[in-house]
Amino acid sequence: MGPNLSKIIETVKKELAEANTLKLEPYFGSLAGVDGWLSPDGTFYACSYHDHLVYADKLSDKMGYTKVNKFPYQLNGEYTLEKMGWIKISLSRVVVVKGMTITKKQLNFLFDYYVSNSREEEFMEIMEMYGDS
């Protein structure tokens, strides 16, 4: 086995081990600079930005969702959560899928999130687009 393949195998093993240790519990700490997933009921699940896909797969399983595919033969927890009304927060960007309805509880959380990150103007933009949801 070549050195590159060994390195790839070790990297994959490490990522799988980390994926098995992800905590799927609601997050109640400081919102400054935090990434994660926001459920329609306003519950926030924090994860690092590079764990969104793995975390989404595990959250989809935990919530009992049947994973849907964005592309043929590719079941996708991230796409499933988005279809179920979840909002992704990644690298301090709030990602809302086009045509999605934001719940009042999500808006309440987003207000706190934007204030905690000194970005109140961006919350006003969200309110203009989705405030009547």
- What residue numbers bound the domain in which 94 lies? 23-130
Q: Count of domains in the chain?
A: 1
Q: Does residue 102 lie within any of the structural domains?
A: yes
Q: Does residue 14 lie within any of the structural domains?
A: no
Tokens of 17: 């081990």
The answer to whether the pTM exceeds 0.85 is no
User: Can you give the pLDDT at residue 13?
Assistant: 63
Distances (CA, A) of 12 to 5, 16, 24, 56: 11, 6, 21, 18
Tokens of 30: 């400081």
Q: Does residue 35 lie within any of the structural domains?
A: yes
User: Can you give the pLDDT at residue 83?
Assistant: 92
Per-residue pLDDT of 60-119, as tens digits, reads: 999 999 988 877 666 789 999 999 999 999 988 899 888 889 999 999 999 999 999 999
Q: Does residue 84 lie within any of the structural domains?
A: yes
Q: Does residue 59 lie within any of the structural domains?
A: yes
Q: Does residue 119 lie within any of the structural domains?
A: yes
Query: Percent of the chain scored above 70 by pLDDT?
Result: 86
Q: Does residue 1 lie within any of the structural domains?
A: no
Tokens of 24: 């799927």
